Structure 1
Amino acid sequence: MVLWLIAVMLYQTYKPLPAGISYESPEYRVDQVEFLHDLTYPSSDGQMQHEQQIFQRMMQVVEEAEQFVLVDMFLFNNYQHKGQNFPPVSTEFTEALVAKKNQHPDMDIWFITDEVNTNYNSAPNPLLEQMTQAGIHVVITDVDPLRDSTPVYSAVWRTFFQWFGQSGDGWIKNLMATDGPDVTVRSYLKLLNVKANHRKVVVSEKKAIVSSGNIHDASAYHSNIAFEVTGPIIGDILQSEQAVLDISGGGQVPTYTAPSTDSNTGDLRIRYLTEGKVNDAVLHEINQAGKGDTLWMGMFYVASPKVLEALLEASKRGTEIRLVLDPNENAFGQEKIGIPNRPVAAELHDKSDGKIQIRWYNTTKEQYHTKMIYIAKATGDHIVLGGSTNFTPRNMNDYNLENDLWVAAPPDNKFTLDIANYFERIWNNNDAEFTLDLDEFQEKTTFLKGVLYKLQLILGLTTF
């Protein structure tokens, strides 16, 4: 039996990826990429302020669509903890899709999501059921064909528990939201594989939005970023989503034909990346950074040993590095202990002799959920890469499904200036206290958290 479990571990860790997973588009030239952001921060009188752009633009994509809409969204539900009151964004988006389908019955509308929204098959999601009844194609991603990120546990689960399914009458409290349905033991056993379709994209024949943010009530006040693009890259986004359908029961994504006016010219260069191709691009860009360059990063989770080593090497080469990190204090109403970002921040600060500068985003009950890197080059185009991907092994090493947009833009382009202004604003606290000094979350227990963080990485038993 031990040999069997070892064999399962090895195969499920290194097996071939399904066709179309870990995708990289060709490089396209475009005239415009629009940068969008959501920011939550305390005003001078202590009241929480919310600057929000992303959700309304996603709604606009649906409203303006004439041929098709395809959405792939990790978190999509309206479950909350008792006493919480968030904007009903998931209901509003459901109603918009249903209204679109009712107005245009022949329109091809797809909604792809993760099984977390059915509590790992413990209970139906009323919003998804509403879409299905309206004739919208709803797909719950089957992540089992993907590689296992927690092989020690997943080998046991695949051998003994997967055969029993997860549906049934749940009796265990829902840890993500007290008003969510009770969950079966078998669903929690599946959750412990910690594997997901983590993508976040809304696309029509006219435009696409690649985002770090979910359409999820309890996440509505998180700080996030997104990019809005047009042109033939829409076809690549659809192609990458076909791969998700292929591992999840089939179906055919909408057909996209680029307008004849798309001449593949413009000042900006863009690529669409998924899964491990994001990792390749991030490491390449950091490794190319040198003296005179400034590397900015806004990140919810950073824990990839390869990324950390690349940052330290870039610092040695003279790259100025500034990181804005979430302090990892909370997740869906549950307090967290600061892993991985606090021990990672301590490691980067100490090993670089303080040359790598780090500030914490000033979160309260929300998260700094951004996942973006920006390299202001001393010469040539500046580089931006962002989307769903946290810089962790689980997100970057072909375990989760992820999606990012890579952009190269001249330093004087509006897109570049908007990104630069975003980082300068929150780093310097220009009109509010967006960020805090590193010392704010470097407590005496950081060393012990570092030991726990390293142990989790070695065993693969992480939630990041």
Structure 2
Amino acid sequence: MAGLIFLLIIIAVSVYGILKPLPRGISVENGPYPVTGVEFIYDLTFQKDGKTVREQQIFDRIYELIDEAEQFIIIDMFLFNDDYDRKTSYPGLSSRLTEALAAKKEENPDIEITFITDEINTFYGSYPSEHLEKLKEYGIRVTMTDLTRLRDPNPVFSGFWRTAVRWFGTAGQGWLANAFSPDSPDVTLRSYLRLLNFKANHRKVVVTEKKALVTSANPHDASGYHSNIAFVVEGGIIPEIAASEKAVADFSGNGDAISKKAIVQTGEKKDNGSKSTAGNMQVSLLTEGKIRKHILDTIKEAGPGDIIWMGMFYLSERDIIRELIVASGRGAQVKLVLDPNKDAFGMEKNGVPNRPVANEMVTESEGEIKVRWYDTRGEQYHSKFVMVKGRETSVIYGGSANLTRRNIMDFNLETDLKIVAPNDSELVREINGYFERIWNNEGGNYTVDYEKYRDRSSFRKVLYRFQEWSGLCSF
């Protein structure tokens, strides 16, 4: 009888974990705000004349935003560490960002600097993060996201974990090898069990009183050579982005980390902060499930003569896939640049989910959906953005969100921008040029033909569908 009661409790906790209310300020859609310009920047790793070439812009731009800030800086980043196998060398992104923020605080002691991040950087509480501790030493407010407040994408396990394991914490003498790096501290079994909840604050945002940057890039050393994208905006959208970050600090029990007064004052000072101010582009803030809602609505409107460009690290959400196939059937051109899902920080992956997903879309569209694989050589094509180009205007989505159940169905924390721009704008020309460049291998070798990684495996198809449905996966 006791066992049956325990099982019923776990089932009840599992169901509640999927359906429970989201914290206030999560899964929002704010805007549109008219702006006169949006900056598109990117990192690309590719081959040219037999050599590896790396074009990197994103973190240089982040350091510029830090230098320009006067009132406050809010940074929310998923991966922020230097945990990796030292057999390979990577750029010191985590150390450099730490030093930049510390130097800014020394230069301007009155500036409010807040750093929000994910528990993964302490291996879920097994040991302190050197970089986060240094930020604290300089008076920078650090918030560790309380992931227990979020819904559970892996409910079968999370129901058990919340009922029987959570209460014991994760701290203590580690005795298990660290899966992220043999050179990092050993960890506790309880930390591994916490990891198996498979959820995260996956956002990648930098906000100051002057500008905001939303990106797919992490300040994580082993991610330093990944290909990524970012957008920089200013105007009335800034206080909305700052407020979305304050919501995370609030539900994580660190509400004083971001000054509400500073956010309000920033909004008041923006001349183009009103939704009625003229501008040739419109920018909206989308987080969590609202990203899925808007992307689906945009794809559903695509028809003959329209082009859907997508650059994506993970694509697996079932409704997105179905609507892409339907849009192709209506006559829209669908062109996807996907990561082949074969590389993960020195480890080889099995191609799930992108390869079985690509096979499904190409097959069901009878070859009308076109796919090219980014030609990764140990790094990842980590970009996450979509452009639907209509006759006169384009709708662009970009930020932290992979198009997976976990990322865009109110489980992970995610931030994207939605941008509506005329086709003759510099922004649309730049993004279109970016896609044409990597699709056609202009000036280098970026992508390879679909057939190179085509995967007809029934096993991997079933595996992907089960993992996407159940949450028993890392994508």
What is the CA distance between 1:457 and its match in structure 2? 2.2
Aligned equivalent of 2:44: 39
Cα shift readout 1:254-296 (whole Å, capped 9, x = no counterpart): 3132335326321000001100010111101111111110000
Does the 8 Å contact 1:200/1:214 carry over to 2?
yes
The corresponding residue for 2:271 is 261
1:228 aligns with 2:239: no
Q: Would you say how many aligned residue pairs link Structure 1 and Structure 2?
A: 461
Is the 2:356–2:455 contact (alpha carbons within 8 Å) kept by the matching residues of 1?
A: no
Q: Which of 22, 25, 32 is residue 20 of structure 1 equivalent to?
A: 25
- Given the alignment of the two structures, is residue 447 of structure 1 paired with residue 451 of structure 2, yes or no? no
Letter matched to residue 39 of structure 1: L
Residue segments in structure 1 that go unaligned for 5+ positions in a row: none
Equivalent position of 2:108 in the other structure:
104
For residues 181 and 393 of structure 2, what CA distance do their matches in structure 1 show?
44
Post-superposition, which runs of at least 4 consecutive aligned residues in structure 1 deviate over 6 A? none
- 1:322-371 CA distance string (max 9 Å, x none): 00000001112221000000000000010100000000000010000000
Alpha carbons 1:40, 1:51 under 8 Å: kept: yes
Q: Aligned partner of 2:388: which letter?
A: I
Aligned position for 1:170: 174
Closer, same or farther: CA 448–58 of 1 in aligned 2, 3 Å: same
The separation in 2 between residues aligned to 1:29 and 1:148, in whole angstroms, is 36
Quote the Cα distance in structure 2 between the aligned partners of 1:269 and 1:122: 44
In structure 2, the residue corresponding to 1:144 is in which secondary structure?
helix
The one-character-per-residue Cα deviations of 1:144-175 (angstroms, maximum 9, x if unpaired) are: 01110000000010111001000111121111
Match of 2:156 in 1: 152
* Aligned-partner Cα distance in 2 for 1:130–1:244: 22
The aligned residue for residue 7 of structure 2 is 2
Residue 307 (structure 2) aligns with: 294
- Aligned partner (choices 427, 441, 447) of residue 435 of structure 1: 447
For 1:290-439, list aligned pairs within 5 A.
290-378=303-391, 380-439=392-451
Shift of residue 80, structure 1, vs aligned partner: 1.6
TM normalised by structure 2 equals: 0.96
Deviation track 1:383-438 (CA, whole Å, cap 9, x = no partner) reads 10010000000001000000000000010100110000000000001111100111
Distance 1:131 1:365 in 2: 31
* Residue in 2 that maps onto 1:461: 472
Query: Aligned equivalents of 2:231 and 2:133: distance in 1?
Result: 29
Match of 2:3 in 1: none
- Between the two proteins, what is the percent identity of the paired residues? 49
Distance in 1 of aligned mates of 2:84 and 2:17: 34
Aligned alpha-carbon RMSD (Å): 1.0
Q: CA deviation at 1:454?
A: 1.4
Distance 1:153 1:294 in 2: 41
- Aligned mates of 1:99, 1:251 — CA distance in 2: 25
Q: What amino acid does structure 1 have at the position aligned with 2:440? A: N
**Does the 8 A contact of 2:235 with 2:271 survive in 1?**
no
| Conservation of the 8 A alpha-carbon contact between 2:384 and 2:399 | yes
Partner of 1:179: 183
**Contact 1:153 1:193 survives alignment (8 Å):** yes
Aligned partner of residue 7 in structure 1, secondary structure: helix
Task: Compare 260-269 and 185-194 and name the one that shifted more.
Answer: 260-269
Gaps of 5+ in 2: 1-5
Q: Quote how far apart the aligned CAs of 1:250 are.
A: 2.4
**What is the distance in 1 between the residues matched to 2:316 and 2:386?**
14
Give the distance between the partners of 1:289 and 1:271, measured in 2 at CA.
Answer: 20
Q: Among residues 82, 88, 92, which one is paired with 1:78 in the alignment? A: 82
Distance 2:173 2:346 in 1: 25
Q: 1:321 touches 1:356 (CA, 8 Å); kept in 2?
A: yes
Measure, in 1, the Cα distance between the counterparts of 2:455 and 2:383: 24
* Mapped partners of 1:272, 1:159: distance in 2: 36
Amino acid aligned to 1:437 = D
Q: Is the 8 A contact 1:177 1:332 kept in 2?
A: no
Q: Secondary structure at the match of 1:26?
A: strand
Secondary structure in 2 matching 1:27: strand
